[in-house]
Structure 1
Amino acid sequence: MMRILNFNLKRFIEGSFSSTSLPFFLSSQRVRARSAGTEAGTGTGTGRVLDFSCGLNMALAGKGVIVDHQAFHNLTSSQLQHKGATIPGLPLLVRGRFHGIGAAAAGGGASQISKPQFTKLLKHARFNLLLSLFSVVLHSFHRVTSHISSISNIFVHDGAIGSLPKCDAKVRLISDSSSAVLSLSRILWGTSTRAVSHDSCPLTVYVATSISSGIGDVIDLGSKGNNGFIAADIERSSLVLCGKAFSDLNVTKEALAALSGPVIFARGGLPLCARLLVSGDSVVLIFAPKGTFKSCRHLLVPKEAGVILSSEGVAPLFQTGGQNLFKFPSVVVLASSDSSGVIPSVSKLSPGQAAYHFLAGYQNGKFMPAYNKGPSCIHPMELAKAFLSKLQDEKISSYLLNVNGGEKNVNGKDLANLVQSTLSENIPPFEAKSGDLEDKYKSFLLSEFQEVPEELSF
């Protein structure tokens, strides 16, 4: 499989994107968000069979899915397994630019998909029985819903991205597969069906596991796309997972994080590519490249994805199997990598400096705005400004670590120990050693954002 991304967001300033592994489309046809209708019951559900529920059937019809026989709503894991559920690098194709670091700049080795190829995909991609996935952009999800509507048993699950009710993103999964629901329901936080039904902009995830074995040939990609792909329509707040795409949870989380970002941000939360280190009563918010996180992931929460920072505290975007809410962080640590030695091993930052280094995300000659290497629908500058406000309002101490400034790289327990030391030691203010690094920062940021606010400084 591969990941194919296509963004056409008129509301967002053009940015860039870099990836990992699955066919992942992003498009944007504006459709006004509609309420999903009134549901039967207000709880999270314990495995109800709602084949004749007018509320659920009407809600699904509003999303383009007509229940042919039965709709199983919020089944438990054991009930899904009783229905036959099981728990199961791909090339990357990119079209367009996204907020975040560009594939070429990140060295991701991404291939390009041409406009004719993508147009051909929209018009001719087929599900089983030769049902086309997209006929025209306006009806891009019509064929998916038609396919799901042709299935006798439909599985529906309600959940949320983020565990903070005031700034989470509600999600409704609609699938033709109990296995897909079993897998995906485990990464979503629990929420009530009523909360999803009455949400002003819920996300809808369609999972169609049957896919034509020749779909790769249809768009001139050979067999690379035959196992499945992900397609996201940001303005419709909809995500389609085709074939075996649901089994790649890492890429699915990236797609969901990108899709939910504007909703979370609009509700006062900051979706951040960060991790937490909990040390006694202290909560430390850490920004670092994925490679650095991997070396000490067993010490961090969450082990992957990211967190939401809000006035209520900080919480993981997706289920972790542990605590779902932590108090507001007392310390923010930004890990940079500078083998030239211009950046000190550890130094204290002012809020304006922290927001500046957060915006740049410098890593040994490359830049990763907002420390996000994946797709994002939030402009990094807007995120940096909101991040600065949080630091100032909550009076959070900020530090910059150089994880590649000495004789050996800092990783694993060394990173954890270094982070913990910032809680007790008197760390000197940031002062770059001689070099042209500041000019590199300025040159990159001005090329990406044209203007950097005065309150953000090196």
Structure 2
Amino acid sequence: MPQRLNVSMSQCLNASAHNVSIICHKLIDIPLLVLPTTIFLFAGRVIDYSYGLNLALAGKGVIVKDQAFLNLNSSQLQHKGATIAESLSGLPLLVRGHVPGGGPSEISKPHFTKLLKQVTNHISSISNIFVHDGAIGSSPKCDAKVRLISDSPSAMLSLSRMLWETPTRAVSHDSCPLTVYVATSISPGIGESIGLGSKENDGFIAADIERSSLILCGKAFSDSNATKEALAALSGPVIFARGGLPLSARLLVSGDSVVLLFAPKRTFKSCRDLLVPSDAGVILSSKGLAFLFQTGGSNLFTLPASVFLASSDSSGVIPSVSKLSPGQAAYHFLAGYQNGKFIPAYNKGTWSIDPLELAKAFLSKLKDDQISSYLFNVDGGENNVNGSDFVKVVQSTLSENIPPFRAKSGGDLEEKYKSFLLSKFPDLPEEFSF
């Protein structure tokens, strides 16, 4: 049975933030483990205080001033004042902890540390805060647990819809959970005050991959694309370590067959209604295919029957469609060639996993599960393919005898591939080939 104690609010806060187990023992002489919740009576009203949650939040730098609401559903958040925020796009995203070859960090460690301190102090000053536990990745075998901590029910309403549900206490028992701090009401000048320069009044996003922490300031939670990009970067190393391959890809589901597609964004946009998910984020593992973020539909699929890598080559050196060996598929996956530009692993976002290591794991998956691979040229000069035509070609290819890949004569495309990849990834495995 919970205990009812008449204590001051400062005692409540001190108990939660500093030395709960000793205080509880002195007050009621009962071990903490058999007293998970104590009801405090303060100023004539009852406060239900969760020691475990408040201690966990204190460990993340957030001291609960009054109440912390955990895992409220949509209707409960709306009852607390949550509203649907207007969607935004293009807000600044600053990331530190890039892998080699991914460019320098966009925010320094001291700047991030200072920002985190100011954000946690701000959230600690808010009477009521909102906490939500979820997961990135719909497969519990290789997901990344996430704890959202927000000063706003509206932000929580928006962000919680991105995450998959996870069992109670899963976050607190996870070996490497991610933490997202949301400070919607913090001063708009917070970025400039820590040396980030003048930022938009709508807010900004800062992520530290090494720290597994994400900060959303102002209205940044309304920029779902940038938020998902940051979350994908943070969760990538965790998912990869647990045997999953986080890929910038989509799925084409046809009957019982599933096809894994890699293509330029413009190709996906032109046929988005025919593919899942609507935004990038697929995890390939030994258990099959899963999604990074909530899709509103099915969350798990079997292993793909085949893989399609779409390149854009207006020179015509790459044939319209051809079959690849696993080594060739890994090579073209790593290159991600799009008309003179290379997008390693087809990922235009933030790199948090070395693309070469991802390509090696991709190669192993294709070989181990005997998954067929094809290369498709969506920009073959006069024969451009977009939208539903792309989907039709993919479907028809599966029922045809497609010849092996052989580059057409003319041009130096193979040398361009080789020059780029060796400059970025000098230790290419011998099995990788054009």
Asked which structure has the greater RCO (Cα within 8 Å, sep 6+), the reply is: 1
CA contact (8 A) 1:270 1:309 kept: yes
Q: Specify the alignment match of 1:399 in structure 2.
A: 374
1:90 matched to 2:90? The reply is: yes
Counterpart amino acid of residue 289 in structure 2? V
| C-alpha distance in 2 between matches for 1:189 and 1:212 | 31
**Unmatched 5+ residue regions in structure 2?**
1-31, 38-45
Measure how far apart 1:214 and its partner are.
3.2
CA pair 283-254 structure 1, distance change in 2 beyond 3 A: same
- Tell me what 2:6 maps to: none
Scaled by the length of structure 1, the TM-score of the pair is 0.80
Q: Give a deviation string over 1:130-181, Cα, whole Å, max 9, x none.
A: xxxx5xx555422211111111101010100001111100001011000011
Indicate the residue corresponding to 1:229 in structure 2: 204
State how far apart, in whole Å, the 2-side matches of 1:164 and 1:376 are: 22
Cα distance in 2, alignment partners of residues 208 and 220 from structure 1: 17
CA RMSD of aligned residues (A): 2.6
**Residue aligning to 1:319:** 294
Q: How do 1:38-437 residues align onto structure 2 when only pairs under 5 Å count? A: 51-88=48-85, 89-90=89-90, 98=98, 138=113, 140-215=115-190, 218=193, 219=195, 221-222=197-198, 224-434=199-409, 435-437=411-413
Counterpart contact for 1:314–1:328, Cα < 8 Å: yes
Bigger CA radius of gyration: 2
Aligned equivalent of 2:23: none
Q: Secondary structure at the match of 2:49?
A: coil
Indicate the residue corresponding to 1:440 in structure 2: 416
Distance 1:376 1:309 in 2: 17
Give the deviation of 1:211 after TM superposition: 2.7
What is the CA distance between 1:226 and its match in structure 2? Answer: 2.3
Report the alpha carbon displacement of residue 408 of structure 1 after superposing the two structures with TM. Answer: 4.1
Greater CA drift, 442-451 or 326-335 = 442-451
Cα offsets for 1:399-421 (capped at 9, x unmatched): 00000004242111101001111
1:427 counterpart letter in structure 2 = I
Q: State the secondary structure of the residue aligned to 2:133.
A: strand
Amino acid of the structure 2 residue aligned with 1:90: G
Aligned length: 389
Distance 1:368 1:324, change over 3 A: same
Letter in 2 for 1:337: S
Deviations 1:366-391 (A, max 9, x none): 10000000002100000000000000
Letter of the structure 2 residue corresponding to residue 457 of structure 1: S
Q: Give the conservation status (yes or no) of the 8 Å contact 1:71–1:156.
A: yes
Distance (Å, rounded) in 1 between the aligned partners of 2:92 and 2:178: 25
How far apart in 1 are the matches of 2:117 and 2:189? Answer: 20
Residues 165 and 146 (structure 1), Cα distance of their counterparts in 2 relative to 1, 3 Å cut = same
C-alpha distance in 2, partners of 1:58/1:220?
31
Q: Does the 8 A contact of 1:100 with 1:373 survive in 2?
A: no
Change (3 A) 1:94 1:81: closer
Name the TM-score, length of structure 2 as normaliser: 0.84
Letter of the aligned partner of 2:331 in structure 1? Y
Q: Which moved more, 1:429-438 or 1:83-92?
A: 83-92
Output the CA distance in 1 between the equivalents of 2:218 and 2:265.
28
Q: Cα gap change, 1:250/1:280 in structure 2, threshold over 3 Å: closer, same or farther? A: same
Helix, strand or coil at the partner of 1:197: coil
Aligned equivalents of 2:206, 2:227: Cα separation in 1: 10
Residue 338 (structure 1) shift: 0.3
Q: Match for 2:230: what amino acid?
A: A
Query: Conserved in 1, the CA contact under 8 Å of 2:119 and 2:186?
Result: no
User: Which residues of structure 1 form unaligned runs of 5+?
Assistant: 1-36, 42-48, 104-111, 124-133
Give 1:298's aligned amino acid: D
Identity %: 74
Cα 1:451–1:50, aligned 2, differ >3 Å: closer, same or farther? farther
Instruction: Give distance in 2, aligned partners of 1:93 and 1:267.
Output: 26
**Cα distance, 1:290 vs. partner?**
1.0
Residues 94 and 207, structure 2, Cα contact 8 Å, conserved in 1? no
Which digits, 9 at most, give the CA deviation of each residue in 1:179-202, with x for residues without a partner?
011000001000013111100000
Rounded Cα–Cα distance in structure 1 between residues aligned with 2:94 and 2:229:
15
CA distance in 2, matches of 1:100, 1:426: 40
Q: CA deviation at 1:102?
A: 7.0
Distance 2:384 2:153 in 1: 45
Task: Rate the CA distance shift 1:50–1:100 in 2: closer, same or farther, 3 A.
Answer: farther
- Paired residues of 2:184 and 2:216 also in contact (CA < 8 A): yes
Tell me if the contact between 1:68 and 1:153 (Cα under 8 Å) persists in the aligned partners: yes
- Does the 8 Å contact 2:93/2:226 carry over to 1? no
